[in-house]
Amino acid sequence: MQKKPSHSYPRRPGPPQQVRIIGGDWKRTPLPVLDAFGLRPTPDRVRETVFNWINHQMDADWNQADVLDLFAGSGALGFEAASRGARSVTMVDTVGPVVRQLEQIKDKLKADKVKVLRADALAVARDLAQRGQRFDVIFLDPPYQQDFLSQALPLCAALLKEGGLVYAESGERLPFPEQQGDDMPDEVPEWLQGWELVRGDKAGMVYFHLLKLD
C-alpha cells in the first residue's frame, strides 16, 4: 500500500520562536511557534503586506468574511483574520501538537469564531466542497518542497465565493508568465490554469501571492 503523504513537522533545534498578531482586536498578541522543522509562520511584515492587499480587494469588510486556513501551522494567518473581525475562521492541520497549540491559543483569546480541525488538508478541502461550503478568503501556506500547493490550489476553485481570494505562499515564485524571471514559462502549468495573479512579492526566501479566479 502506498504511504499517504503528510505535512509533518519534525523537531528543529534552537530556542522557541513567536510571531505577533499585527492588527485588529488582538493586535500585538504573541503567538508561540512550535519547535518543529517545516513550521514557518508567515513573517509579520509579509502578513502586514498581504492583509493590506486583501483589505484593498474587499474594502476591509472582514465582518462578512468566511476564512479557511488549510495548513494552519502556527495559526498566524487564521488568527490574524479572526482578530480583524472575520465572521468565521476554519483552521486545519494534521499534526497533533500543532492542533493542540492552536486550541490553546483559541481558548486563551476566547476566539469563538475560530474552528480548529485535526485532519488532512486536501481531504478537508474535498469534503467542504462536496458539502457546498464556500469561503471569501483561503490561506495556503503548506510545508515547502512537498508539492502540496499544486494539489491544494485546484481544489480551492470549488471552495471560493464569487470574488473570493486565495493567499498562496511558497519557496519559489509561482510560474505565471507575467512574473519577472528568466525561468517563467510562456504558459501556466495545468494546476495554475484558471487563476489570476492579483499581487505577488518576495521577502527573503518567501514568495507570496494573492490570487483570484479568472
pLDDT digits (tens, 9 = 90+) for 35-59: 654 566 788 889 999 999 999 999 8
Q: List CB contacts of 109: < 8 A, sequence separation 6 or more.
A: 26, 29, 79, 82
Query: Which pLDDT score is estimated for 177?
Result: 75
pLDDT in tens, 64-74: 999 999 999 99
Cβ contact 102:91 at 8 Å: yes
pLDDT in tens, 126-173: 999 999 999 999 999 998 767 899 999 999 999 999 999 999 999 888
Query: Which pLDDT score is estimated for 143?
Result: 83
The residue with greater pLDDT, 41 or 190, is: 190
What confidence tier does 13 reach under pLDDT thresholds 50, 70, 90?
Answer: very low
Closest CA to 60 of 137, 125, 126, 2: 137
- Predicted TM-score (pTM) of the model is 0.88
Q: Would you say residue 11 has pLDDT above 90?
A: no
Q: Would you say residue 192 has pLDDT above 70?
A: yes
Mean of all residue pLDDT scores within the chain = 87
Q: Would you say residue 182 has pLDDT above 60?
A: no
**Cα-to-chain-centroid distance, residue 114:** 14
Cβ contact 46:208 at 8 Å: yes
Secondary structure of the chain as H, E, C letters: CCCCCCCCCCCCCCCCEEEECCCCCCCCCEEEECCCCCCCCCCHHHHHHHHHHHHHHHCCCHHHCEEEECCCCCCHHHHHHHHCCCCEEEEEECCHHHHHHHHHHHHHHCCCCEEEEECCHHHHHHHHHHCCCCEEEEEECCCCCCCHHHHHHHHHCCCEEEEEEEEEEECCCCCCCCCCCCCCCCCCCHHHCCEEEEEEEEECCEEEEEEEEC
Query: Which pLDDT score is estimated for 180?
Result: 56
Q: Would you say residue 12 has pLDDT above 70?
A: no
CA atoms of 120 and 136, how far apart (whole Å)? 21
pLDDT in tens, 80-126: 999 999 999 999 999 999 999 999 999 999 999 999 999 999 999 99
CATH architecture of 17-174+184-213: 3-Layer(aba) Sandwich (3.40)
Query: Which pLDDT score is estimated for 160?
Result: 97
CA-to-CA separations, 123 to 6, 70, 134, in angstroms, rounded: 11, 10, 15
